[in-house]
């Protein structure tokens, strides 16, 4: 096939992985990436956390909020306060699916579900935590050796650093206290440690956080020949994937600046438009496998805030260490580099993923004079992420008779926690109490966040080993029955997981992209 065209829907980390791997492997291909939202930064897809100016950062976040941004939100009559802020992950930059105005999704059982609409997708706003899946989190039909290599590729694409912040003495003190409490119960290699993050440490101790920009890499570097083969069209909404029998022929797109609609022919279409809008686009295009939208999972999250106990911390860290930590955080006060620790998922001992983030202030205002409203040694925000076991009935479904605010079949999300999850939530809450006691005093008691809060939505286009109605895509991410239609994103994860999913989804995308590149290559031959 001479000069094949690849159309990619969505410019987040996953669409960007497809663009990068496909162009590196098929350098004569042309990749056109369509993104419904605006470009926020000069370098496409950069993390807004790298923007130092608070006003500029706030503007970039508002521009990502689709239906809830500024003038559009006002035209719908929705108060700004509808967009809730999370306690751990700054949710600025995202917009609720069930925002309550005309054309809003129906998601009362999953109320915190949110998306980002901008170049870079949620990857312009993410916290950059990139742990690897382990034990039953992994995909059973991909061999371990191949999987390990894919994860290493994904780490390289996302600029993952395992030892980030390992030099923080405050972080080390927190780790030591947690290890004293839990270490004996955890298996070798899965104890208390630092959290791998996606970003490049800078000489001054700050971090340049990674987004889709680092994944795109040479594709947006004018000096690279690959950039000649790559086109990113922002504010361009893909309305339909067009079919020709059991193949896709291209996409119908709408330029949101002019309103004009056009058809773009493509040899391969990759849909990586998040776990709700990707299945919605497939449904709208008449591609409706039985499992589409079903088996929705996320991570139930229990959170709390603890004031660190000075006496305990001083056993392992000095005043000088505290000063050094605060100085480093002051380099970017709006998005400080925190000492981030974790306890990873392990089975059967610890089916939870725990994040412990240091902060000098509480994430909520405290009345001056109340106990621990001032705490010289600071605080930690702690979150336990848990598994949701996949069930057909947890689903996003689409209604052909009701249009959403963009004119797509509207979404309804049905979701419920079962006894299985309730049991693990109770166990996690108990451990969170122990962790809190080990470190200091609770200033916010453990509480379960509303469904949808994790921002890690999985399962709605799951991978499967066989086309038996319980999956949407084959082991190489191609939609069953459509050999040149590829899907990507957290929606493909078929397992129950506790860890942050982006690294895993990039690994799956690398595998899918290589297969697609191989197909293009062999057709060319």
In whole angstroms, the minimum distance from the beta carbon of 466 to ligand FAD comes to 24
* 35 or 153: CB nearest ligand FAD: 35
Residues within the interface to ligand FAD (CB under 6 A): 9-15, 34-37, 89-91, 94, 116-118, 121-123, 125-130, 237-238, 272-274, 277, 281, 455-456, 489-490, 500-502, 505
In whole angstroms, the minimum distance from the beta carbon of 376 to ligand FAD comes to 28
| Residues near 280 by beta carbon (within 8 Å), at least 6 away in sequence | 396, 398, 408, 409, 411
* 160 or 307: CB nearest ligand FAD: 160
Residue tagged 């922002």 (tokens): 234
* 238 or 498: CB nearest ligand FAD: 238
In whole angstroms, the minimum distance from the beta carbon of 96 to ligand FAD comes to 12
* 116 or 214: CB nearest ligand FAD: 116
Number of alpha carbons in the 13 Å side-chain half-sphere of residue 398: 26
* 325 or 335: CB nearest ligand FAD: 335
Residue tagged 């109770």 (tokens): 426
290-293: long-range contacts at Cβ-Cβ below 8 A with a sequence spacing of 24 or more? Answer: 290/469, 291/392, 291/461, 291/462, 291/464, 291/469, 291/470, 291/471, 291/472, 292/460, 292/461, 292/472, 293/395, 293/396, 293/397, 293/398, 293/460
Determine the Cα–Cα distance for residues 136 and 477; give it in Å rounded to an integer: 20
In whole angstroms, the minimum distance from the beta carbon of 514 to ligand FAD comes to 18
Helix ranges restricted to H, 26-137: 54-63, 70-76
- Catalytic sites, residue numbers: 456
- Alpha-carbon distances of 129 from 162, 372, 451, 495, rounded to whole Å: 10, 28, 20, 19
Determine the Cα–Cα distance for residues 199 and 439; give it in Å rounded to an integer: 28
In whole angstroms, the minimum distance from the beta carbon of 114 to ligand FAD comes to 7
Residue tagged 């987040």 (tokens): 12
């Amino acid at each position: 096939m001479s000069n094949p065209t690849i159309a990619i829907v969505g410019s987040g980390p996953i669409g960007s992985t497809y663009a990068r791997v496909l162009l590196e492997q098929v350098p004569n291909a042309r990749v056109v990436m369509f993104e419904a939202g605006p470009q926020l930064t000069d370098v496409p897809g950069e993390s807004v956390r790298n923007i130092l100016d608070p006003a500029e950062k706030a503007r970039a976040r508002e521009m990502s909020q689709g239906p809830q941004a500024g003038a559009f939100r006002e035209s719908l009559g929705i108060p700004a306060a509808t967009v809730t802020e999370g306690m751990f992950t700054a949710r600025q930059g995202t917009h609720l699916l069930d925002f309550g105005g005309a054309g809003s999704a129906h998601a009362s059982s999953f109320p915190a579900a949110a998306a980002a609409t901008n170049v870079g997708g949620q990857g312009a706003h993410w916290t950059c935590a990139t742990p690897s899946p382990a034990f039953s989190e992994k995909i059973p039909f991909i061999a371990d050796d191949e999987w390990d290599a894919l994860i290493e590729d994904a780490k390289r694409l996302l600029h993952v650093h395992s030892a980030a912040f390992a030099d923080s003495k405050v972080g080390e003190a927190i780790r030591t206290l947690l290890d004293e409490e839990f270490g004996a119960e955890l298996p070798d290699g899965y104890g208390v440690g630092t959290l791998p993050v996606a970003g490049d440490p800078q000489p001054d101790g700050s971090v340049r956080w990674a987004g889709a920009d680092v994944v795109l890499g040479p594709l947006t570097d004018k000096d690279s020949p690959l950039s000649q083969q790559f086109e990113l069209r922002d504010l361009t909404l893909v309305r339909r994937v067009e079919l020709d029998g059991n193949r896709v022929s291209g996409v119908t797109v709408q330029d949101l600046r002019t309103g004009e609609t056009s058809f773009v022919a493509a040899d391969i279409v990759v849909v990586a438009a998040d776990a709700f809008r990707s299945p919605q686009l497939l449904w709208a295009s008449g591609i409706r496998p039985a499992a589409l939208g079903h088996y929705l999972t996320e991570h139930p999250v229990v959170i709390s805030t603890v004031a660190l106990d000075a006496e305990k911390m001083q056993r392992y860290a000095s005043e000088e260490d505290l000063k050094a930590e605060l100085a480093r955080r002051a380099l970017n006060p709006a998005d400080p580099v925190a000492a981030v620790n974790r306890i990873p998922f392990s089975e059967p001992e610890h089916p939870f993923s725990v994040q412990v983030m240091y902060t000098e202030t509480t994430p909520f205002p405290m009345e001056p004079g109340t106990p621990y409203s001032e705490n010289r040694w600071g605080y930690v925000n702690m979150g336990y992420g848990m598994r949701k076991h996949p069930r057909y009935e947890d689903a996003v479904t689409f209604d052909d008779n009701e249009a959403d605010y963009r004119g797509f079949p509207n979404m309804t999300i049905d979701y419920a926690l079962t006894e299985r999850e309730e049991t693990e939530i109770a166990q996690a809450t108990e451990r969170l109490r122990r962790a809190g006691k080990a470190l200091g005093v609770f200033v916010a008691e453990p509480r379960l966040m509303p469904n949808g809060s994790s921002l890690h939505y999985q399962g709605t286009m799951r991978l499967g080993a066989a086309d038996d109605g319980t999956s949407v895509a084959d082991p190489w991410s191609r939609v069953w029955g459509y050999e040149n239609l590829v899907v990507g994103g957290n929606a493909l994860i078929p397992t129950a997981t506790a860890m942050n999913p982006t690294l895993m989804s990039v690994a799956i995308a690398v595998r899918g992209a290589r297969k697609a590149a191989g197909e293009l290559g062999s057709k060319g031959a």
